[in-house]
Every structure is written in structure tokens, then in C-alpha cells.
């Protein structure tokens, strides 16, 4: 046991933990981050798993990163460049393709080719989504109010929410409430007739979530994925130059510059509580670190059921954490390729062939894939969202070679027959490769190396319970003032001096740095230190 007592220990060096560390250190606190892996980043990492190829082997694209934080922490100077990518192609079951061209005119003509009705309707759809997104985006860098509290700050924040809601107009308020609970498929039914267009628009509604396109609540997930922006281009997605690890490395560099200490290969065995107050951690190697406060970047379930003693928690918290909805549903297949794959029905040009690929199929196919997950299996015909970052980023593969990130929905955390085995994992990877091969004959021959990741692997390596990429599902019962639990949505946890800063807190999953920044602001407020966290910056204000 060392004599030194830090001001704060951050448990877990994910991007949110690093964000909290940076802002606490900026306020002059003595901060130490402890991370179990030899690298920082959690699920935002760049790893060279095959010589010459650098995979963003978990999260792979970025759109929610708060620009105000990027700017405030000067992350560009710390090495971060976000590059938007263009030209995603969606592949239908019947061999049809739908290309999302960056030019408005071209995109409209492409939609019109499938359905003049839908091409027209797309304008209304995008305006409606933009309006909903505008509302939720304004809450990202704010602490959710406690609706039962009479404290002036909570009342002020509630009024803020009310005012934002009111500004939608009466009819839209009804629509908005409906939107929070409806399924993505039902929501899209109001706008579109073409099945491929519907499927393409619905796909963001299932990414990372244990819901199907027809499950209530999936419409909100859709919004969660399109509310981000890159430089004001709402709904655009970007790649971090050097892979997603570049985001974490830049945040770590900023945190260090402000004086934070970051210890890797330092997993936490237990969060220590004394006299009802969090006071430090015991590392896996037995070392004990003391601090005035402890901030958990781990998910809510892991925090309260794995690294805390049940007896240190107030009654009911353990049960809440145990029942926290954090079902794993996504897999990832990272593939090193000897060359650029060609896709059937896609013009071989320098832009379109190089964007993202949505192996979407149809609403029916996506629902079938969800059915398989419910029964503890992977689908032989999964929904796969792919992108080839090496077409845009010269730093992640040798010239002329490529790597393809394939996000797979769905993949169960445990199989009906029992736990995952290496053989089952390979078979799952093969199902994904087989699906891509259908749209890109010869694809298999290009494969140089492949990494297959099931939810089980994500849990083992990253520490996400069940491999849930959002650190808890994004359904209304677990959003805003309900995240992670009602009554504990303001980053302060049921034990004094214990805070949470990960995606289990508002505003939830995604590489946004918002959870971490919000947590830092609350902590600084409790410590009566000046706030170092910037306000958010909006394009549509």
C-alpha cells in the first residue's frame, strides 16, 4: 500500500474514462487512470494484428464525437484527424443495389430509380429525423435532470427539456413520443414503399442492439445513429486517421498534458469502500491505490456486480445492476485483403466502390437474423455493415492492400448449445465471409488475415458485459434520467465518492466523449472546482 492519495482514480481507460481524466486533470486534480489492457481505448482502439495491417477492431467509424470536446482539448494537435467517408452501397436480397451518392442530385435520381414516391418522401423523412435529432443532440453534453427533484438545477434542466420539446410544435410532440417507442420498420412505413430503401434506412435501428427492425424502440436506435455529424454534415460518418485508437490516443495525450497519469496493464480487482465512501481500488496485481473519488468507466453491470463488494452497496442496487439490460448482440469480422474487392452491380469507380457496404437484404432478412439470435444462434444470412477504411486512410494497410471492417448483427453472447468455442467462432466468421462472397465473387481469395469477434470475445478482451457495444441497451427505460438506473442518472452512484463516466450513463453508447465530459463536470461541481468542460456547439442553433 502506498501512502499517496490521489484526487481521483478512473477505473478503465476507454475513451470516456480518458475524457473524464483530461477534464479533471485540466481542473488541477491529481488523476490516475488504470486500464487492464496494455493499451488505452477500450473499444476505440487500433491494433496491428497482422503485420502491416492496423484494425479498428471494435468500433470502426465515428460521428458522435463532440466537436466541442475535440476543439477544446485540441485533439488535432494531439494527432486526431477525422475524415468523412462517402458513397455507401446497400445490397438487397434480390441483387438490387442502392447507392448513397454524396451529391444531392445523384442521390435523388438513385432513389427515384427504385421508387419516385420514396425519392420524394426522403425529403420529409430527413427533415423529420433532423428535427428529432436536433432535440436529442441538445441533451448530449448536459446532465439529465432528475424529474423528482426540486433542486433549482434539476428544475432548470427540466424546463430546458420542456422548452426544446415545446419548440417542436404540438403535432410533432405527439409524433416524438410515438417515435421513442415505435419500431424502425413501423416508423419507416410512414414514408417508404420500396423494400430495399426501407431496409437500408432501418439498418441503423438494429446496430448494436438486441432488438429487431420490428421491435418497439428500434426507431430511437436509428436516430441515435444518425444524429451525429461530421463538420456539420448531419448523419455523416467519419474515419479516424490511424483507426479509432487515434481518438483514444489523442484523448490520452491531452489528459497526460494536463497532468493525468495513465497506467496500462493495471486491471482493477475491486473498488474499495470504507465507511460507506469509495476510497480507492485494489489492482489485479494486489497493489492498492487510494483516492478521494473513484470513477468507473466500466459498464453498470460490471461495476456493481463484478468489481464491488455487494455488501458495500445500498439495498437493491446489486439487483438493479444484475437486471440492467445489456444483452450482447453484435459480432465483428476484421479482414485483411490482398486487394480491393469488386462488388456485383456496383460501378467500379474511385468513389462508390470504396465507401461503405450495407449487406442489408430486406426487412424480412434482418428480422430472420434477429430470430436466430433469439434462439441462441447466428444467422447464416446476417446483416453486415462494412467499410473499407484503407481506401481512405493510407496509414492502416500497405499501399494497394486493404482491410475491411464488417460489423455483424446479430451474434449471441452465448450459444443455445453452450459457450462459444474456437470452432463455432470460425463458423460464424465463415457465415459472414460467405455472405460477402455472394455480393463479391472472388472475395474469399483476397483474404490475407481475419479476426472474428463474438460478443464473448468483446467481453473477455474489452470488458463489455455480454459484449454489448453501448454498455447497456438504448431503450427508453434506460435512457436520459433512467440511465443507468432511475435516480442515479447524474453520474453520482449509490456509494458516496463513486461516479460513473462510461456509456452506461447518459447519453449512452457511441464514441462521443459526452458521458466522460458530463461526469467530469458533475465531479468538479461536487468538489467545488471551476468547470473545465465546454458547452456543446451546434450547427442548427
Partner 1 sequence: MSTNDPYAGERLKLSPFYPRASVLNIREAWSAWNGYKFAEYYYDAEYEYFCVRNQCATYDICPMQKYLVKGRDAEAMLNRMVTRDITKLKLNRVTYVVWCTDEGRLVDDGTIFKLASDEFMLTCGSSCIAWLRMSTYGFDEVNVFDVTDDIAALSFQGPTSCAVLKEMGLEGIEQAKPFDILRFPFHGDTLMVSRTGFTGDLGYELWISPGLALELWDELYSAGEDYGIQPFGEAATNMARLEAGFIMPDMEFNEALKTVHFEHDQTPFELNLGWLVDFSKPHFNGRRALLEEKKRGPKYTLTRLDIEGNKPAEGSYLYGDRNCKKKEIGYVTSAMWSPAVKANIALAMIRTDCLQGEIWAEIYYEKELRHYQKVARCTVKDKPFWSPPRARATPPPDY
- By the criterion CB under 8 A, which residues form the site for partner 1? 67, 70-71, 75-76, 81-84, 86, 102-103, 230-233, 241, 350-351, 391-395, 399-400, 537-540
Nearer to partner 1, 127 or 150 (CB): 127
Contact present, 197 and 98 (Cβ < 8 Å):
yes
Task: State which H helix or E strand residue 97 sits in.
Answer: strand 97-99
Nearer to partner 1, 77 or 374 (CB): 77
Nearer to partner 1, 76 or 265 (CB): 76
Neighbours of 123 (CB within 10 A): 11
Task: Please list the alpha-helical segments (H only) found in 216-362.
Answer: 218-226, 245-257, 300-305, 317-322
Give min distance, CB of 244 to partner 1, in A: 16
Contact present, 272 and 281 (Cβ < 8 Å):
yes
Give min distance, CB of 404 to partner 1, in A: 16
Task: State which H helix or E strand residue 199 sits in.
Answer: helix 195-202
Nearer to partner 1, 179 or 538 (CB): 538
Residue of 524, 466, 432, 499 lying closest to 296 (CA atoms) = 499
Nearer to partner 1, 83 or 177 (CB): 83
CA pair distance 387, 385, nearest whole angstrom: 7
Cell of 441: 465473387
CA pair distance 186, 175, nearest whole angstrom: 13
Q: How many residues does the chain have?
A: 541
CA distances from 437 to 353, 362, 446, 541 (A): 15, 18, 11, 45
Give min distance, CB of 202 to partner 1, in A: 27
Give min distance, CB of 71 to partner 1, in A: 5
CA distances from 477 to 128, 193, 290, 324, 481 (A): 23, 31, 35, 10, 9
47 φ, ψ (degrees, to nearest 5): -125, 135
Nearer to partner 1, 174 or 539 (CB): 539
Cell of 130: 433532423
Contact present, 12 and 39 (Cβ < 8 Å):
no
Nearer to partner 1, 49 or 236 (CB): 236
Give min distance, CB of 349 to partner 1, in A: 9
Give min distance, CB of 338 to partner 1, in A: 12
Give min distance, CB of 124 to partner 1, in A: 15
Contact present, 521 and 531 (Cβ < 8 Å):
yes
Give min distance, CB of 147 to partner 1, in A: 31
Nearer to partner 1, 258 or 354 (CB): 354
Amino acid at each position: 500500500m502506498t501512502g499517496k492519495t490521489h484526487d481521483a482514480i478512473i477505473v478503465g481507460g476507454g475513451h470516456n474514462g480518458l475524457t473524464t481524466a483530461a477534464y479533471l486533470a485540466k481542473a488541477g486534480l491529481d488523476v490516475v487512470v488504470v486500464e487492464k489492457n496494455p493499451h488505452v481505448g477500450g473499444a476505440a482502439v487500433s491494433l496491428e494484428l497482422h503485420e502491416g495491417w492496423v484494425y479498428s477492431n471494435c468500433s470502426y467509424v465515428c460521428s458522435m464525437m463532440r466537436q466541442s470536446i475535440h476543439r477544446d482539448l485540441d485533439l488535432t494537435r494531439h494527432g486526431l484527424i477525422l475524415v468523412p467517408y462517402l458513397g455507401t452501397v446497400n445490397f438487397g436480397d434480390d441483387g438490387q443495389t442502392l447507392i448513397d451518392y454524396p451529391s444531392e442530385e445523384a442521390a435523388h435520381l438513385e432513389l427515384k430509380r427504385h421508387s419516385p414516391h420514396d425519392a420524394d418522401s426522403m425529403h420529409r423523412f430527413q427533415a423529420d429525423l433532423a428535427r428529432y435529432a436536433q432535440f436529442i443532440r441538445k441533451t448530449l453534453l448536459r446532465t439529465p435532470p432528475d424529474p423528482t427533484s426540486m433542486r433549482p438545477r434539476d428544475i432548470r434542466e427540466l424546463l430546458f427539456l420542456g422548452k426544446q420539446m415545446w419548440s417542436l410544435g404540438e403535432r410533432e410532440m405527439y409524433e416524438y413520443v410515438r417515435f421513442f417507442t415505435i419500431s424502425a420498420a413501423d416508423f419507416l412505413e410512414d414514408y417508404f414503399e420500396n423494400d430495399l430503401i426501407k431496409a437500408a434506412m432501418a439498418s441503423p435501428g438494429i446496430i448494436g442492439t438486441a432488438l429487431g427492425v420490428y421491435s418497439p424502440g428500434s426507431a430511437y436506435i436509428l436516430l441515435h445513429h444518425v444524429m451525429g455529424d461530421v463538420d456539420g454534415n448531419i448523419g455523416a460518418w467519419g474515419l479516424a486517421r490511424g483507426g479509432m485508437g487515434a481518438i483514444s490516443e489523442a484523448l490520452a495525450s491531452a489528459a497526460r498534458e494536463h497532468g493525468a497519469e495513465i497506467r496500462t496493464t493495471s486491471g482493477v480487482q475491486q473498488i474499495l469502500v470504507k465507511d460507506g465512501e469509495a476510497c480507492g481500488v485494489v489492482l489485479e496485481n494486489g497493489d492498492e491505490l487510494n483516492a478521494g473519488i473513484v470513477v468507473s468507466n466500466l459498464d453498470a453491470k460490471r461495476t456493481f456486480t463484478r468489481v464491488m463488494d455487494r455488501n458495500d452497496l445500498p439495498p437493491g442496487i446489486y439487483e438493479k445492476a444484475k437486471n440492467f439490460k445489456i444483452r450482447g448482440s453484435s459480432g465483428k469480422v476484421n479482414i485483411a485483403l490482398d486487394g480491393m474487392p469488386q462488388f456485383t452491380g456496383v460501378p467500379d469507380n474511385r468513389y462508390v466502390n470504396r465507401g461503405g457496404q450495407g449487406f442489408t437484404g430486406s426487412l424480412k432478412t434482418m428480422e430472420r437474423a434477429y430470430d436466430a439470435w433469439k434462439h441462441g444462434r447466428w444467422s447464416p444470412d446476417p446483416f453486415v455493415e462494412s467499410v473499407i477504411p484503407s481506401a481512405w486512410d493510407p496509414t492502416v494497410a500497405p499501399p494497394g492492400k486493404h482491410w475491411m471492417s464488417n460489423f455483424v448483427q446479430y451474434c449471441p453472447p452465448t450459444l443455445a448449445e453452450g459457450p462459444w468455442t474456437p470452432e463455432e467462432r470460425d463458423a460464424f466468421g465463415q457465415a459472414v465471409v460467405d455472405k460477402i462472397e455472394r455480393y463479391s465473387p472472388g472475395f474469399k481469395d483476397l483474404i490475407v488475415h481475419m479476426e472474428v469477434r463474438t460478443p464473448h470475445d468483446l467481453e473477455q478482451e474489452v470488458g463489455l458485459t455480454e459484449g454489448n457495444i453501448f454498455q447497456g441497451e438504448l431503450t427508453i427505460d434506460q435512457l436520459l434520467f433512467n440511465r443507468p438506473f432511475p435516480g442515479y442518472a447524474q453520474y453520482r452512484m449509490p456509494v458516496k465518492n463513486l461516479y460513473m463516466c462510461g456509456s452506461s450513463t447518459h447519453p449512452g453508447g457511441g464514441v462521443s466523449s459526452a458521458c466522460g465530459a458530463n461526469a467530469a463536470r458533475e465531479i468538479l461541481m461536487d468538489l467545488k472546482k471551476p468547470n473545465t468542460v465546454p458547452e456543446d456547439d451546434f450547427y442548427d442553433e
